[in-house]
Structures are given as structure tokens and as C-alpha cells.
């Protein structure tokens, strides 16, 4: 039943009511109505009585015409014959309803009903024409909305595929570097190698479930970084100093996985490891103006000509762009007196 009344709205009923009010006013002002010349009260009463009859007629015609058009479906509404049928059915049923409620004088009989039918047929034709255009526009809007939803779903699917590909680049690169460190240490110091392997196991137990996710919490990412730094601390010993500054109120913030870990790995590999004396790393989280800032600061060898052009940093930039657009960025700055500050800025959620 609701499908047959598609297009019936308060706006449509208001338009029909306005049309009926004008029709009732026209009838009242006609000399044949017998109302003109009487008092204001008689004229108002006559107008109201005729308005009630016309409202029954007009609403019946509207509902009938809509039911015929909707029953025919979209293909039927494109057919001129169906439109004519809807107009005729609307005028015919409204005339019958008008007779059934006693609004047609019994003395007039069928001739008066035919007069009502023909007088409302033109109005029915205009009504049907307007609703055919309305229903066509509604269908076109629905198709456009459906096409937009399909485009959005496709874009979302493409984004998810791109993120999975980018994430797939992180996983082997990050893990192979760590395993390579374990292998080298096992060759030179078996005890330290076993200790590093235990740390690596702890790291992998936390890392693997998160690697395929699009989001994690800052707390989980800090845990992952701490486990990785634990592996590196065994390898480098006193040459590596570690500090983490992440306020408790920010630990529930949502962040992309492995980005912070990639910056830490980059700082050790390119900043601290090449120096005989080693260096320190500070991992820090801050929030201001609805943005979360994650930074990794080292006092290693500093910026070089190749700084910022590595696969890991390019991957971070691509993932940030895919996830947040222009609302997120990765920047590299020179540290004082030496080293690099890698900064990720993204929306705080």
C-alpha cells in the first residue's frame, strides 16, 4: 500500500486544498450559486460547505491517480495511455465518492455525476501531468543517489586496497631488518642473541595482530615501539638511550599502526647506528587544537641529501594522505645541536 501512494505528501495535499479553496470561491461568486447578495455569514457558510465537497473530490482524485501511476511502475508512467487512464480514473472515482457521501443531488442523478466527472477531468489531467514529472524526477534522484553510493563504496574499497598494499610494504621491511639484527648478534654473542630473540618474540606477539589493522591506539603503538627498542637496546647496549613521553590522557587516541615504529627504526638505522658513540631517541606525543603530534627525536648524524626519500617515510606519507588527506602530514626537521626530528601531525580522535 505505501508503494501505491508514493508521492503523496503534505505539500501535495496543501496544493490540492488550495486549488479546492479557489474552486469553492469561484462557485460562491457565481450568480447561479444563490449565495451572492446574502450576508457575510451566509457567504462564508456556503464557501465552507462547497470547500468540504471539493476537498473530498480533489483528495479522492489525487489518491486514485497516484495509485494508478504507481501500480503501473516506472515503465508504465512513461506511457501516455497510463497517464490518461490515471486522469480518467481519478475523475471517475471522485465523482462516485461524491455521490456516495450525498454531495450529489439525488434529483440530478447520472447526468449530474457525468457533469462532475467532466468538470474535474481537466484538473485530473493537470494533476497527473505534474505527478508524472515529479515521480520521474524522484526516480532520477534515486538513481543518482544510488550511483553516488556505488562510487563511494568503490572509492572506499580502492582506499582499503591501497592501504593494505602500503601496509604490506611495511611488514616485511620492518620484520626482516629486526630478524637480520638477531642473526648478526647470534653469530657474535649467543647469550645476547637469545635475549634479543626473547625480546623479539614479545615484540612480534604484540605487533602481528595489529599490522593488518587500519587503526590502533597510541598506547598499543607505544608498547610496540618499546618492544622494538628493547630489541635494539640489547644490540647496541650503552650506545642507545631511550626516552618515551606520552601523557596518559592521549593513550586512547586512534593512530595508524606501525608509523611511529617506522620513524623509530629510521632514526636508529640512519641516525644513531652509524655513529660509534651512538645516541639517544625521544618518542613524544602532544595534542593541541584538535591535532595529535607524534615525534621521534634523535641526536644522530642529522639530515643528509637522502633524508626523507626512503621507502618507509614515503609509505607513511602515502598512508597519511589516503587516510586523512590534507589534515595530516609528515615533516623532518633538524635537531639542535645535531640529529633529526621526525613529526607526524594528524587529527586527534
In a domain, 182, yes or no: no
In terms of domains, do 216 and 87 share one? Answer: no
At residue 9, the pLDDT reads 72
Same domain, 144 and 49: yes
Q: In terms of domains, do 193 and 132 share one? A: no
Residue 1 domain flag = no
pLDDT of residue 328: 92
Domain with 201 in it: 189-347
**Alpha carbon distance, N-terminus to C-terminus of the chain:** 45
Q: Is residue 111 part of a domain?
A: yes
Kindly tell me the burial class for residue 16, based on how many C-beta atoms sit within 10 Å of its own C-beta (0-12, 13-18, 19 or more): buried
168 located within any domain:
no
How many other CB atoms sit within 10 Å of the CB of residue 79?
13
Residue 297 parent element (H or E): strand 291-298
Q: What is the CATH number of the domain that holds 239?
A: 3.30.565.10
Residues 134 and 201 both lie in one domain:
no
Judgement on whether residues 199 and 341 belong to the same structural domain of the protein: yes
Q: Does 67 map to a domain? A: yes
- Tell me: do 277 and 194 sit in the same domain: yes
The DSSP call for residue 348 is: -
d(CA 301, CA 304): 8
Residue at a domain's end among 94, 117, 148: 148
Q: 196 and 144 share a domain?
A: no
Whether residue 137 is found in the same domain as residue 197:
no
For residues 195 and 340, membership in a common domain is answered with yes
Do 194 and 342 lie in one domain? The reply is yes
Which neighbouring-strand residues pair with 283? Answer: 244, 296
User: What is the per-residue burial (b if ≥16 Cβ within 10 Å, else e) of 87-109?
Assistant: bbbbbbbbbebbbeeebbeeeee
Cell of 35: 449565495
Please say whether the beta carbons of 57 and 92 come within 8 A. Answer: no
Q: Domain check: are 143 and 219 in the same one?
A: no
The per-residue pLDDT for range 25-80, each reduced to its tens digit, is 877 777 666 666 667 777 788 788 878 887 887 888 878 877 877 787 766 666 67
166 domain residue, yes or no = no
Is residue 226 located within the same domain as residue 338? yes
Which stretches in the chain have pLDDT values below 50? Answer: 170
Q: Is residue 157 part of a domain?
A: no
226-239 tens-digit pLDDT: 888 888 888 788 99
Domain end (from 148, 180, 197): 148
Question: What is the model's pLDDT at position 280?
Answer: 94
Q: How far, CA to CA in Å, does 38 sit from each of 21, 23, 34, 54, 193?
A: 20, 19, 8, 22, 112
Which of 148, 179, 207 finishes a domain? 148
Q: Give the number of domains in the chain.
A: 2
The DSSP result for 65-133, as a single string, is HHHHHHHHHHHHHT-HHHHHHHHHHHHHHHHHHHHHTT-S-TTTHHHHHHHHHHHHHHHHHHHHHHHHH
Asked if the structure places residue 296 within a domain, the reply is yes
**263 in Cβ contact with 316 (< 8 Å):** yes
pLDDT of res. 151: 77
Amino acid at each position: 500500500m505505501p508503494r501505491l501512494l508514493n508521492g503523496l505528501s503534505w505539500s501535495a495535499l496543501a496544493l490540492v486544498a488550495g486549488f479546492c479553496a479557489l474552486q469553492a470561491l469561484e462557485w460562491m461568486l457565481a450568480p447561479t450559486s444563490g449565495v451572492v447578495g446574502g450576508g457575510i455569514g451566509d457567504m462564508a457558510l456556503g464557501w465552507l460547505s462547497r470547500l468540504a465537497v471539493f476537498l473530498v473530490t480533489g483528495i479522492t482524485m489525487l489518491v486514485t491517480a497516484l495509485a494508478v501511476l504507481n501500480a503501473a511502475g516506472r515503465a508504465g508512467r512513461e506511457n501516455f495511455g497510463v497517464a490518461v487512464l490515471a486522469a480518467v480514473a481519478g475523475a471517475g472515482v471522485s465523482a462516485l465518492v461524491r455521490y456516495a457521501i450525498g454531495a450529489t443531488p439525488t434529483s440530478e442523478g447520472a447526468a449530474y455525476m457525468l457533469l462532475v466527472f467532466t468538470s474535474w477531468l481537466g484538473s485530473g489531467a493537470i494533476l497527473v501531468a505534474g505527478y508524472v514529472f515529479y515521480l520521474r524526477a524522484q526516480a532520477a534522484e534515486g538513481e543518482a543517489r544510488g550511483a553516488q553510493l556505488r562510487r563511494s563504496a568503490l572509492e572506499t574499497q580502492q582506499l582499503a586496497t591501497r592501504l593494505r598494499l602500503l601496509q604490506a610494504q611495511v611488514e616485511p621491511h620492518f620484520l626482516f631488518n629486526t630478524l637480520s639484527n638477531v642473526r648478526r648478534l647470534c653469530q657474535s654473542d649467543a647469550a645476547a642473541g637469545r635475549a634479543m630473540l626473547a625480546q623479539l618474540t614479545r615484540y612480534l606477539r604484540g605487533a602481528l595482530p595489529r599490522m593488518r589493522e587500519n587503526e590502533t591506539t597510541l598506547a598499543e603503538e607505544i608498547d610496540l615501539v618499546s618492544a622494538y627498542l628493547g630489541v635494539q637496546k640489547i644490540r647496541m647496549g650503552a650506545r642507545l638511550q631511550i626516552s618515551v613521553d606520552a601523557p596518559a590522557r592521549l593513550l586512547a587516541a586512534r593512530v595508524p599502526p606501525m608509523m611511529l615504529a617506522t620513524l623509530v627504526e629510521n632514526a636508529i638505522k640512519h641516525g644513531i647506528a652509524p655513529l660509534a658513540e651512538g645516541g639517544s631517541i625521544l618518542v613524544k606525543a602532544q595534542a593541541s587544537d584538535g591535532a595529535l603530534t607524534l615525534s621521534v627525536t634523535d641526536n644522530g648524524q642529522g639530515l643528509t641529501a637522502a633524508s626523507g626519500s626512503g621507502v618507509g617515510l614515503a609509505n607513511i606519507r602515502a598512508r597519511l594522505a589516503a587516510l586523512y588527506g590534507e589534515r595530516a602530514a609528515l615533516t623532518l626537521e633538524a635537531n639542535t645541536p645535531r640529529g633529526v626530528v621526525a613529526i607526524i601531525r594528524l587529527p586527534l580522535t
